[in-house]
A = this chain, B = another copy of it.
Amino acid sequence: MSTRVVITGGAGFLGSLLARRLLASPISCGGGKAERVGELVLVDLVAPPADLVSDGRVRSVVGELESTVAGLGDVDAVFHLAGVVSGAAEADFDLGLRTNVDGTRAVLEYARGHRVPPVLVFSSSLAVFGIDPAVGPLGPVGDDTLPRPQTSYGIQKFIGEQLVADYTRKGFVRGRSVRLMTVSVRPGKPNAAASGFLSGIIREPVAGQRAVCPVPPDTPVALSSPRRTLAGIVLAAEVDDETWGSRTAMNLPGLTTTPREMAAALDRVVGAGTSELIDWTDDPVIAPMVRGWPADVLARRAERLGLTAESSVDDIVRAYLADNPGTAR
């Protein structure tokens, strides 16, 4: 026996990381026996990286979710990572709704058509939380804090969580929504996410290039390394339904820090003066969005499952250097 898996957004950064993990070692779907992945379908708007395409178990499907997922056939697990990121969903309201809401519905309908309900992991976001101007500052946000999203992306992810919960309650899928923290450090080029600078202010200076920080240095943020984020996504698929518990979304752990502390870690880990490559500004579009995200995230459910955040920004920088050898100047 082997396992069949679909990853939407499978050509993206997290999707590719997850694909490599699934190809490298067996996975248990929803508490079942761990089995090797025999077929891995990567759905995205573009083809996945070459190392994935060249693996005989990988099938790449390129196109919009609504026109591609229906015909993929039954699988054991669906990782739904595809979506329009925060900056893009704010700039193009209709695109965000279409991809993040209608696309998620297409994925859920695909899964609903299975003979045996598959495990379905949905990547939500800490961006479901926001500072409501009529309510005031955000305190620590936990699994039972009412999200009051203040971006279209946050609203759309929160709607996705509701749909996953109800498809699960109805027995159509075995859904698990995880709220990802800002992933730092993402390798490669900047994307359209408003949070992109939280990778850029490490990644670019490490490579000897200038980077822009669009928020004041003491803006609190919550970060998670790619490794820890991936661990949360995989665990969500592997635990059994009872261990998973509530159908409400689960916060993943995040490290609370600031761009100022990130700059200091850069100087400690990479070399004194590295952070001088950061240009500090206060972007009128990005800064308010970022200030509206929570920085103090309580992840009690995730911690009970054994997940933890990094213990320091230094560790986040070291993880980036270890995972991306040859990237430093």
Q: Which residues of A contact B (CB under 8 A)?
A: 93, 97, 105, 132, 134-135, 144-150, 152, 155, 158-159, 162-163, 165-166, 169-170, 245-248
A165 in contact with B155 (CB, 8 Å): yes
B residues within 8 A CB of A245?
A: 134
Q: List 10 A-B contacts (CB under 8 A).
A: A93-B170, A146-B147, A146-B248, A148-B165, A148-B246, A149-B166, A150-B169, A155-B162, A155-B165, A159-B163
Give complex CA distance A169, B158 in Å.
16
| A100: min CB distance to chain B, Å | 11
| A274: min CB distance to chain B, Å | 39
Say yes or no: A134-B246 contact (C-beta < 8 A), given A162-B159, A163-B159: yes
B residues within 8 A CB of A144?
A: 135, 146
A165 in contact with B149 (CB, 8 Å): yes
Query: Which residue of B97, B146, B163 is within 8 Å of A145 (Cβ)?
Result: B146
Query: Which residue of B132, B147, B163 is within 8 Å of A247 (Cβ)?
Result: B132
A132 in contact with B163 (CB, 8 Å): no
Give complex CA distance A150, B105 in Å.
19
- The quantity of this chain's copies bound in the complex is 2
Give complex CA distance A155, B169 in Å.
11
| A228: min CB distance to chain B, Å | 24
> Which of A150, A163, A166 counts the most chain B CB atoms within 10 A?
A166
B residues within 8 A CB of A159?
A: 159, 162-163
| A92: min CB distance to chain B, Å | 12
B162 in contact with A158 (CB, 8 Å): yes
Question: Nearest chain-B residue to A169 (Cβ)?
Answer: B150
Give complex CA distance A146, B161 in Å.
13
B residues within 8 A CB of A146?
A: 144-147, 248
B residues within 8 A CB of A169?
A: 150
Say yes or no: A132-B162 contact (C-beta < 8 A), given A144-B146, A152-B170: no
Question: Nearest chain-B residue to A165 (Cβ)?
Answer: B155
B166 in contact with A132 (CB, 8 Å): no
Give complex CA distance A84, B123 in Å.
29
B residues within 8 A CB of A150?
A: 169
Give complex CA distance A147, B145 in Å.
10
Give complex CA distance A132, B166 in Å.
12
Question: Nearest chain-B residue to A160 (Cβ)?
Answer: B159
Give complex CA distance A132, B168 in Å.
13
| A159: min CB distance to chain B, Å | 5
| A297: min CB distance to chain B, Å | 15
Give complex CA distance A257, B150 in Å.
36
Question: Nearest chain-B residue to A144 (Cβ)?
Answer: B146
| A326: min CB distance to chain B, Å | 43
Give complex CA distance A132, B163 in Å.
15
B residues within 8 A CB of A132?
A: 246-248
B residues within 8 A CB of A162?
A: 149, 155, 158-159, 162
A246 in contact with B170 (CB, 8 Å): no
